[in-house]
């Protein structure tokens, strides 16, 4: 979280919350309960198109596979952009998710939530108007989000009946 006054430069960055859940199985949360609601947008909220491009670039730099950026503006009120990508293994998916989370926070996204990180089969990063799904390849193939949201996305093997 950024300090509200520009004169306080000593504590510009708060430490990242723990993204891994405890052994008790409780859900991991990337934000404290006192965070403002999603409907409240701060003046430092980044442009969603720029944030989506930044996330896609980060995923590409970190060797994510089959990166697909879907424009949801006009299709859904939940977000303006969705990015779907694959990692080669659960460890790769977790590393990609961690990097994307940090990049979104550094870019000024005030409310970023991460779900699914302990298993890292499918990690959802909700940045408000930019949503990122990072899958292991076989999990992505099973759920086939591209078919639901992107009318121009190529069919996966499962959708094609292969």
For residue 162, the tally of other CB atoms under 10 A from its CB is 7
Q: Which residue has the higher pLDDT, 7 or 68?
A: 68
For residue range 8-17, list pLDDT tens digits in order.
444 344 444 4
Q: Position of tokens 């006192």? A: 34
Strand partners, 70: 82
State the average pLDDT over residues 60-74: 90
Domains of the chain with CATH codes: 48-149 (3.30.460.10)
Taking CA atoms, 7 is separated from 2, 4, 12, 91, in Å, by 11, 9, 10, 40
Q: Give percent helix, percent strand, percent coil of the chain, each to the nearest 5.
A: 25, 15, 55
Distance CA(125)–CA(141), nearest Å, equals 19
**Residue 103 in contact with residue 55, Cβ under 8 Å?**
yes
pTM to 2 decimals?
A: 0.66
* H or E element, residue 39: none
């Amino acid at each position: 979280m950024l300090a509200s006054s520009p004169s306080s430069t000593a504590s510009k960055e708060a430490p990242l919350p723990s993204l891994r859940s405890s052994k008790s199985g409780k859900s991991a949360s990337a934000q404290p309960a006192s965070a403002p609601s999603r409907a409240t947008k701060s003046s430092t909220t980044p442009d969603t198109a720029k944030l989506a491009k930044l996330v896609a670039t980060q995923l590409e730099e970190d060797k994510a596979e089959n990166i697909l950026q879907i424009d949801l503006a006009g299709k859904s009120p939940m977000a303006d952009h969705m990015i779907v990508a694959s990692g080669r293994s659960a460890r790769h998916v977790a590393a990609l998710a961690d990097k994307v989370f940090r990049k979104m926070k550094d870019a000024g996204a005030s409310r970023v939530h991460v779900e699914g990180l302990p298993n890292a089969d499918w990690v959802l990063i909700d940045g408000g108007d930019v949503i990122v799904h990072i899958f292991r390849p076989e999990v992505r193939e099973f759920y086939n989000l591209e078919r639901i949201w992107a009318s121009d996305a190529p069919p996966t093997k499962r959708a094609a009946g292969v």
